[in-house]
Amino acid sequence: MARPIRDKASRKLDDALGSRYVRQEDVARALDELTRLLSDRFDAEAESVAVLGQRLEALVLLVEQMQEELVALRSRQ
């Protein structure tokens, strides 16, 4: 997952730093773009983890409910 970001960042920095004379604006723009890409990726991953956590919590509750129902069924016998 990190490989495509690293490749894209390297290309952006190479584009910005490729000539002998590098304008400060080009370097700042490349670093801003890299920061934006990394922030977007981290935000998306954090959101995915949150969704997985919610689904796991719902699954745990369902399993606990099923266990309680099994205990209730066994006690009826």
Q: CB neighbours of 33 closer than 8 A, spacing ≥ 6?
A: 12
pTM over cut 0.75: no
Band of the pLDDT at 2, cuts 50, 70, 90?
A: low
Average pLDDT over residues 32-39: 91
User: What is d(CA 2, CA 16) in angstroms, rounded to the nearest whole number?
Assistant: 21
B/e letters for 7-20, b = 16+ CB within 10 Å, e = fewer, are: eebeebbeebeeee
Consecutive H or E run containing 65? helix 24-76
Band of the pLDDT at 20, cuts 50, 70, 90?
A: low
Domain ranges, ordered by start, for the chain: 2-76
